[in-house]
Amino acid sequence: MPDAPAQGDARTHDPDALLREFVADRDAPCPACRYNLRNLTADRCPECGLPLTLRVGLADPAWGAYIAALVGFSVGLGFCSIVGAWGLVEAFFRHGVGRAIGFLPLVLGVLACGAGTAFLLKRRHAFIKWAPSARKGFAVLAWLAGIGFPFLFWAMIVR
């Protein structure tokens, strides 16, 4: 009993020892190469050689809605900025300023999707704390904007 607390203290304060203790009696795949780290003896994966660490994570990290929203806004931002920049130059030099008004949905798309992308990148931790229904709703909104503004442009100009 007298030497138990000293040994316990040493183990709980050494992150490498905690990592080895965690995988000593359980199967855990290396996050990089999927090699089974059971009975790991160092702080590196024996298969790929990458350094490993033990961390605390969220039970439900909710990255699905975050990534879906980010991709939705990014699709709209990419399409609207590339086609919009090309189209505005084309409209001004070939067809006159009157036709440029048809590119308004793309300008609005750049503003809306750019703001959505910036919000998600800057407020990632706030987004994760939202209710699941709010996160899913925001992802749907992102895709509506990402597809809606290009569709509006198509309806006004290309059609």
- Going from the C-alpha of 45 to that of each of 42, 51, 54, the distances in angstroms are 8, 6, 13
Q: Which is nearer to Zn ion, 30 or 113 (CB)?
A: 30
Q: Which is nearer to Zn ion, 35 or 119 (CB)?
A: 35
Q: What share of the chain is helix, strand, coil (3-state, %, to 5)?
A: 70, 5, 25
Query: Binding of Zn ion at residue 42 (CB under 5 A)?
Result: no
CA gap 155, 143 in Å, rounded: 18
Question: Which two tokens mark 8?
Answer: 């316990």
Binding-site member from 19, 23, 30, 40 for Zn ion (CB under 5 A): 30
CA gap 50, 31 in Å, rounded: 10
Burial environment of residue 89 by CB neighbours within 10 A (0 to 12, 13 to 18, 19 or more): exposed
Q: Which is nearer to Zn ion, 19 or 113 (CB)?
A: 19
Q: Which is nearer to Zn ion, 28 or 88 (CB)?
A: 28
78: enclosing H helix or E strand: helix 63-90
Within 8 A by CB and 6+ apart from 114, the residues are 73, 77, 81
Q: Which is nearer to Zn ion, 23 or 142 (CB)?
A: 23
CA of residue 106 relative to chain centroid, distance: 24
Query: Binding of Zn ion at residue 19 (CB under 5 A)?
Result: no
User: CB 36 → Zn ion: shortest distance, Å?
Assistant: 10
Query: Binding of Zn ion at residue 52 (CB under 5 A)?
Result: no
Query: Binding of Zn ion at residue 33 (CB under 5 A)?
Result: yes
Query: Binding of Zn ion at residue 48 (CB under 5 A)?
Result: yes
| Interface region with Zn ion, contact rule CB under 5 A, candidates 24-32, 96-104, 107-115, 135-143 | 24-32
User: CB 39 → Zn ion: shortest distance, Å?
Assistant: 15
Binding site for Zn ion (CB under 5 A): 30, 32-33, 35, 45, 47-48
